[in-house]
Amino acid sequence: MLAYILRRIALMVPTIFGIMLITFVIVQFAPGGPVERVLAQLQGQNEGSLSRVTGGAGDLGGSGRSAGGGSEASSRYRGAQGLDPAFIKKLEQQFGFDKPAPERFAKMLWDYATFDFGKSYFRDVSVLQLIRERLPVSISLGLWMTLLSYAISIPLGIRKAVKDGSRFDLWTSSIVIVGYAIPSFLFGIALIILFAGGSFLQVFPIRGLTSEGWETFTLWGKIVDYAWHMTLPLTALVLGAFATSTLLTKNSFLDEIRKQYVMTARMKGLTERRVLYGHVFRNAMLIVVAGFPGAFISAFFAGSLLIETIFSLDGLGLLSFTAIVGRDYPIVFATLYIFSLMGLAVNLLSDLIYTWIDPRIDFSARAT
């Protein structure tokens, strides 16, 4: 097993390399990079923020205007006409684009190997600090969603398996199908419209995880306030996620119930409850429990990107979204790196849980 774990860890290196390389190449051809963003601001779209972005035009060579006009450097960027080429060169140097792409990629990989993500282009804050501040929000959403989803889907899936074909199974299947078909972000929008002042009731807040002055609340007050803020985003996530685990639980139990050992246990006179929870449960729950880490990381990704944006939760998803829109590449690549590492680590953890639950499974014996 140790050799298998070491091989899996070794395979993470080329996988991460491939993910980062493909993203880096795509970014090179994507229009509207950070230099073009600053140039657009300089052209009058947002002149007030230019001084905050670049530290003032004076730091980069006066006003940046050139009487001569175009050059090879300026022709590469939209909105660069009429600007001093030296000014553009300093912009490129500030963002690190004065070096060849292979050299920049190699340096990025070297720095990321030690979790040195550099500083944000436009916030003057280290990327690691931004991730550290927002990671608890995303983990909190993913963890609570996974726990609540399993708490609902496992009992429901067992009940559906026992009552297979009954009226209860049919009408709960309708609810499950609706939950499976509608994305969680649509549930989120509907909940905002209904319960967060969209068009009907104003019951729940739609921003943040805590209220203003949360630090001064009592312990019980903090718990209640946190639950109040988490109700809508968690409801949207759970409604969109419990369907898969419910069907998985039901099908796993149905497969086990039809096996020979279950019929033998019933012939011995064991009660249905003893057969179900003493014999079937462990075998049927193997795939469900082992999939818990994967379900968490899936919820972590989905919740980060969509629910955090809809409910203005200051987590990794919202950070990534604003970074992509703002072409803040250090944040984009750092969050991608973190997500990729977590996904690969969770896949390995899922395999280890399989072997822990059922020692008969031996991944190390597979050909690689």
Average pLDDT over residues 260-289: 79
Q: How far apart are CA 116 and CA 95, in angstroms?
A: 16
Average pLDDT over residues 252-275: 82
Confidence (pLDDT) at 328? 87
Tell me which of 268 and 66 has the higher pLDDT. 268
Q: How far apart are CA 36 and CA 41, in angstroms?
A: 9
In three-state secondary structure terms, 196 is strand
Confidence (pLDDT) at 304? 63
Average pLDDT over residues 20-48: 74
Confidence (pLDDT) at 20? 92
- 83: tokens are 């600007």
Q: How far apart are CA 262 and CA 17, in angstroms?
A: 48
Confidence (pLDDT) at 244? 79
For helices 2-29 and 329-357, the axis angle rounded to 10 degrees is 160
| CATH of segment(s) 128-365 | 1.10.3720.10
Average pLDDT over residues 96-103: 84
Weakest-pLDDT range from 72-81, 213-222, 325-334: 72-81
Q: How far apart are CA 302 and CA 15, in angstroms?
A: 21
- Residue carrying the six token digits 């963890």: 143
**What letter does residue 367 receive in the DSSP assignment?**
-
Confidence (pLDDT) at 54? 44
Give every CB contact of residue 172 below 8 A, 6+ residues apart in sequence: 156, 159, 160
CB 251 within 8 A of CB 243: no
- 41: tokens are 């601001």
- 254: tokens are 């149905």
Confidence of residue 174 (pLDDT cuts 50, 70, 90): confident
Closest CA to 189 of 309, 317, 319, 321: 309
DSSP per-residue letters across 232-256? HHHHHHHHHHHHHHHHHHHHHHHHH
Weakest-pLDDT range from 46-55, 75-84, 147-156, 190-199: 46-55
For residue 234, is pLDDT > 70?
yes
Weakest-pLDDT range from 37-41, 50-54, 127-131, 355-359: 50-54
Residue 90 has a CB neighbour count (10 Å cut-off) of 17
Q: How far apart are CA 61 and CA 68, in angstroms?
A: 15
User: What is the residue-averaged pLDDT of the chain?
Assistant: 78
Confidence of residue 18 (pLDDT cuts 50, 70, 90): very high
Helix (H) or strand (E) holding 227: helix 219-257
Confidence of residue 360 (pLDDT cuts 50, 70, 90): low
**What letter does residue 119 receive in the DSSP assignment?**
B
Give every CB contact of residue 129 below 8 A, 6+ residues apart in sequence: none
298-324 pLDDT, tens digit each? 766 666 677 888 888 888 888 888 888
Q: How far apart are CA 98 and CA 100, in angstroms?
A: 7
Q: How far apart are CA 186 and CA 306, in angstroms?
A: 10
Helix (H) or strand (E) holding 127: helix 127-162
Confidence (pLDDT) at 241? 75
20-30 pLDDT, tens digit each? 999 899 887 77
- Residue carrying the six token digits 């629910």: 307
Domain boundaries, the chain: 128-365
pTM: 0.72
Confidence (pLDDT) at 280? 82
For residue 364, is pLDDT > 80?
no
Q: How far is CA 321 from CA 72, 78, 305, 325, in A?
A: 32, 23, 7, 6
DSSP per-residue letters across 8-27? HHHHHHHHHHHHHHHHHHHH
Q: What is the share, in percent, of the chain residues with pLDDT greater than 70?
A: 82
